[in-house]
Amino acid sequence: MTQAETPSSSPPVAPDQIPTLTQDMALVQVPQAVHVALDARVAEKQALMALSSDLLENLRPEIERLTADLVQRTLQSVWDKRARTFDGFEA
């Protein structure tokens, strides 16, 4: 068991027992377990953001195709409505 883990038999910590970290606190006052947990959270966030970037990059061709199709269908619809408007118009 690592320092960050707690035995399952230990009682849960009440929120009022958790110390509040302030900017005035020196880094040496922050427990090592908190440093490890925060570093793990940063690494997890970076991995998630990298995954997001990879997914978007891989989907880019499909997104561009769908966007082009949507624009084309929208403009065709506008043209069709305009053509119906002028069908009965005699010059």
Q: Tens of pLDDT along 63-83?
A: 999 999 999 999 999 999 998
- Two tokens at 5? 């883990």
Q: What is the pLDDT of residue 7?
A: 52
pLDDT, average across residues 7-17: 72
- Bigger pLDDT: 73 or 26? 73
Query: CA–CA distance from 20 to each of 16, 29, 65, 73 (Å)?
Result: 9, 12, 50, 56
Phi, psi of 49 (to 5 degrees): -65, -40
Q: In the chain, pLDDT over 90 holds for what percent of residues?
A: 48
Helices (H) and strands (E) in the chain, counts: 1, 0
Per the CB < 8 A criterion, the answer to whether 42 and 9 are in contact is no
User: Using alpha carbons only, how large is the chain's radius of gyration in Å?
Assistant: 29
